[in-house]
Amino acid sequence: MFRILKKEMLNAQVVRMELEAPLVARKAEAGQFVILRVCKGGERIPLTVAGYDRARGSIEIIFQTVGGTTMLLGSKEEGESIPDVVGPLGMPTALGGLKKVAVVGGGVGCAIALPVARRLKELGAEVVGIVGFRTRELVILAEEFRACCDRFFLTTDDGSLGEKGNVCAPLVRVLREETFDEVITVGPLVMMKFVAKATEPFGVKTVASMNPIMIDGTGMCGCCRLTVGGEMKFACVDGPDFDAHLVDFDEAIRRSRLYGTFEERKREEHCNLFRGTQPKI
């Protein structure tokens, strides 16, 4: 069993948890993920390792309560446990030798971007952080980004906090003025698609962290397949990081919508359980 050491609400829908998982904490690196179950026989879901403390033997996960399983996980409290956490899985983000990097995060993807930015700073790189959200109510981890970035840009779609607009505007400004070794982007698929389009004219290497539908995390089920440079790749074992200029984002977006109806039904079932009514079959 994996005990919940700490729970914090980052906004109305996003939860940060610290889990007691010493074996995972011992090996975890920035960019890797775990697959967990909230109850025996439950759905397996992938969540990025948002942080780790090797001495304490713990890892952090940050998730949005959008489906039945994440809603159930979000209902857990400090001191309770979950039965299964497997990891670390996936390839760590390749950061060696990078001297100047723009890290671009969007929404809950900032939970993945933050450990990358932190690790880059630990390695001595100059880090420019650019994060975007729809509104100020959804902003998370802004102070943590400021602490590990040499420069930091915050955008909101409606202009309620920071610069009005999306992450591409400040990104293009800095790319026009400076040379970067790499741009690393994590967030909604549509956002990463347009980040890749924005960086392409500048010829700067751009890496996208992909988080498609995933079941086993070992390359056996094939659910997380992507087309990258015309070849099939599995996000769980070949990634999750890929050359953003080679990813077929349109295909990835179509695949991400396949289970929308199922996810809506699971949300309804979860809400019905808390209301004391029977879920619809």
74-122: pLDDT as tens digits: 999 999 999 999 989 989 999 989 999 999 999 999 999 999 999 999 9
Classify residue 91 by its DSSP letter: P
119 touches 52 (CB < 8 A): no
Buried residues in 92-121 as b, exposed as e (16+ CB within 10 A): bbebeebeebbbbbbbbbbbbbbbbbbbbb
Distance, in Å, from the CA atom of 263 to the CA atom of 281, rounded to the nearest integer, reads: 14
The pLDDT of residue 10 is 94
Give Cβ neighbours of residue 202 (< 8 Å, ≥ 6 apart): 175, 176
Distance, in Å, from the CA atom of 49 to the CA atom of 90, rounded to the nearest integer, reads: 11
Q: Is 14 exposed, middle or buried (0-12, 13-18, 19+ CB in 10 A)?
A: buried
- CA 181-185-188 angle, to 5 degrees, is 165
What is the fold, at CATH topology level, of the domain defined by 2-89?
Elongation Factor Tu (Ef-tu); domain 3 (2.40.30)
The pLDDT of residue 281 is 37
* Domain spanning 100-209, CATH class: alpha beta
The pLDDT of residue 229 is 93
Residues of the chain with CATH 2.40.30.10: 2-89
Q: What percent of the chain has pLDDT above 90?
A: 71
In order of 70, 83, 183, 201, the CA distances from 242 in angstroms are: 26, 31, 12, 18
The pLDDT of residue 18 is 96
Q: Encoding tokens for residue 122?
A: 């630990």
Residues of the chain with CATH 3.40.50.80: 100-209
221 phi, psi to nearest 5 deg: -85, -30
Strands 126-133 and 100-106 turn out to be parallel
192 touches 244 (CB < 8 A): yes
Intervals of the chain under pLDDT 70: 259-281
Strand (E) positions, the chain? 2-9, 14-20, 33-37, 45-48, 51-53, 58-64, 81-82, 84-89, 100-106, 126-133, 151-156, 163-164, 182-186, 206-209, 225-228, 231-234, 241-243
Give the SS3 label for residue 163.
strand
